[in-house]
Amino acid sequence: MAYKLIYPESYLRRARKFIKKHPELIGQYQKSLELLEINPHHPSLRLHPLQGKLAGLHSISINISYRISLEMVISDQEIILINIGTHDEVY
């Protein structure tokens, strides 16, 4: 069963800035979102829970340098996108 991705306005603003700054990553970014929607546990996404002040959130990798943080609402099969950027920007 596919998951539903939720794009809050705050995430969309961050994503627009990210894509404007890194247009070379559009393909990888789109592929990551497609995989996330189909199977968030796909090995290439490297899904993992976050700790500390971000406990309760998860993160996936776009590539070795860039991440998307997200909230997974498993009961409703929804994934709420929270943030996008480098490791340091997201964490």
Reported as a single tens digit per residue, the pLDDT across 9-54 is 999 999 999 999 999 999 999 999 999 999 999 999 999 999 999 8
pLDDT at 49: 93
Name the residue with tokens 């997974």: 72
What pLDDT was estimated at residue 61?
94
DSSP 12: H
Q: Which residues make Cβ contacts (< 8 Å) with residue 32, sequence separation at least 6?
A: 45, 60, 61, 62, 68
> Domains plus CATH for the chain?
4-90 (3.30.2310.20)
Task: Return the SS3 of 13.
Answer: helix
Predicted structure pTM score: 0.89
Q: What's the confidence (pLDDT) of residue 76?
A: 80
Amino acid in the structure at residue 79: I
**Averaged pLDDT, 69-80:** 85
Is the pLDDT assigned to residue 1 strictly greater than 80? no
Helix (H) / strand (E) containing 56: none
Contact between residue 64 and residue 72 where contact means Cβ atoms under 8 Å apart: no
